[in-house]
Amino acid sequence: MAANISRRGSSWSKPVSTTILPNSPPLRESAGDPFAGIDLFRLFALCFGQPSQELFAWLSGNDSRALWNQVARHLGTDLNLTRQHQFPDFSAYEAAYIALFEVGIPEPPVALLESAHSKRAVPQEIVLDCVNFYDVLELRPSGTAFPADHVVTQLEFLAAVRFLRDNSPANENANSLRRLERDFIKRHLLSWLPVAQEKLCQLHPPIFPTLLGLLTVYLKREVNSSGDGT
């Protein structure tokens, strides 16, 4: 089944690619789900992935601000993202990403790892529990990309679950995938993202606290809207 999950490369054991291009158009409202046609799990994963000139150009552009403001309105969250919330140039953006998320003594100020923030279990158990979820879809995180409990890996897993769920021919299978998605969000991402966001907000960097807060609101909405999966 894992081999049939498209939009993530030929194998999850290789660095996961995204289909959200830096020049993606703003989200357009429709009579149905305004998120149809855009993978928000993978979009958030892209934004918290490794810095690149291409990603910086998109995050700094009008299309990005329009999309995030529109997502926030749909989620009922106040957000007025303007140019004042952006980094002045790529060097500042890259340096902030490294200083916030990757480098620090004894650890980065806000590591994007569940095991750095969650107190529900020791780090090894948290990582193992993530891997057990990934095993359900026969997925293996790439050792050259991000750790198993990194926010990018966790969001890419949810993107894979959502893709299978949306393309499942059997309602029973779709319900099982819905429960898998809900349980993973509750057990993992929502157990540590609010803590990470609080730490990030105290440091006042541009853009990152806003995106992490919006991601948390979106995940809570997904849990609440999924019901019991029946």
135-151 pLDDT, tens digit each: 998 888 776 678 999 99
pTM of the model: 0.82
Using only C-alpha atoms, the chain has a radius of gyration, in whole angstroms, of 17
pLDDT at 209: 92
pLDDT at 10: 30
Q: Report whether the peptide linkage leading into residue 26 is cis, meaning its omega lies within 30 degrees of zero.
A: no
Domains and CATH numbers, the chain: 2-19+35-224 (1.10.3480.10)
Query: CA-CA distances (angstroms) from residue 86 to 65, 81, 127, 163?
Result: 10, 9, 33, 31
- Among candidates 177, 202, 181, which has minimal Cα distance to 190? 181
Chain centre to alpha carbon of residue 218: 10
φ/ψ (deg, to 5) at 9 = 90, 175
27 pLDDT above the threshold of 90: no
- Tens digit of pLDDT for each residue in 108-124? 999 999 999 988 888 89
